[in-house]
Amino acid sequence: MTTAPAEVRRILERYLVEVVERYELCPWARTAREAPALAVGILWGAPELGDWIALARQLLAAPAPRVAMVVAPELAIARAAFGALRDRVAAALPSAGIAEFHPDAALDLASPARLVPFLRRAPDPLLQLVPLAILDAARAARATPATVSIAAQSAMLCGRAAPPRAGLAETIATANHAVAARHHAAIAAALDDIAADRAAAYARAGITARR
């Protein structure tokens, strides 16, 4: 029998593989996932600020440098409120760079920056955390994506990390905008299919999906 945590991780992996990797939205995503360099933690119910901070600290304390993703599959929260929560977690964890992913975001192709929330339309609200030491190493690196270390690659997994060369962040954002302009219908369909899978799977697993 599939457990509730396994279903949450399976649904998250669908998003990473079928959206982020398939459309090459982040050039280091596949390597980081397969290394593996991702640590995923789950918060059930409607977690308090302290719950987010405690689990984030636990994941960031892992021996190997990694990206940490804290997922709240049962949390019903507006995107703006979740952004405010991210700010409060970031204030409590100044040693990490933090990005929020949220399931409710409309397509906005007006600019690469305004497209970002749509591409971060993860199945569940989640915070991605990366130690600033890794981010600093990534910013200082002068290598191409093919020769950046696994730790640096995972640091740049579609969050707020600066890629290793000046201007590359803008290049990736512009490329993602071009991809979304061509394939936004297919991307939206994939996101919708993952959302439908999530609803059915969570119901079977007894996960209270409040959305």
User: Tell me, what's the pLDDT at 161?
Assistant: 46
DSSP bridge partners of 127 = 70, 100
Beta-sheet pairing, 126-131 with 67-71: antiparallel
Burial of 10 (0-12, 13-18, 19+ CB in 10 A): middle
User: Tell me, what's the pLDDT at 162?
Assistant: 47
User: Tell me, what's the pLDDT at 142?
Assistant: 43
User: Tell me, what's the pLDDT at 147?
Assistant: 46
- Between helix 168-205 and helix 112-119 the angle, nearest 10°, is 20
Regions of the chain short of the pLDDT cut 70: 1, 27-28, 32, 64-65, 133-169, 210-211
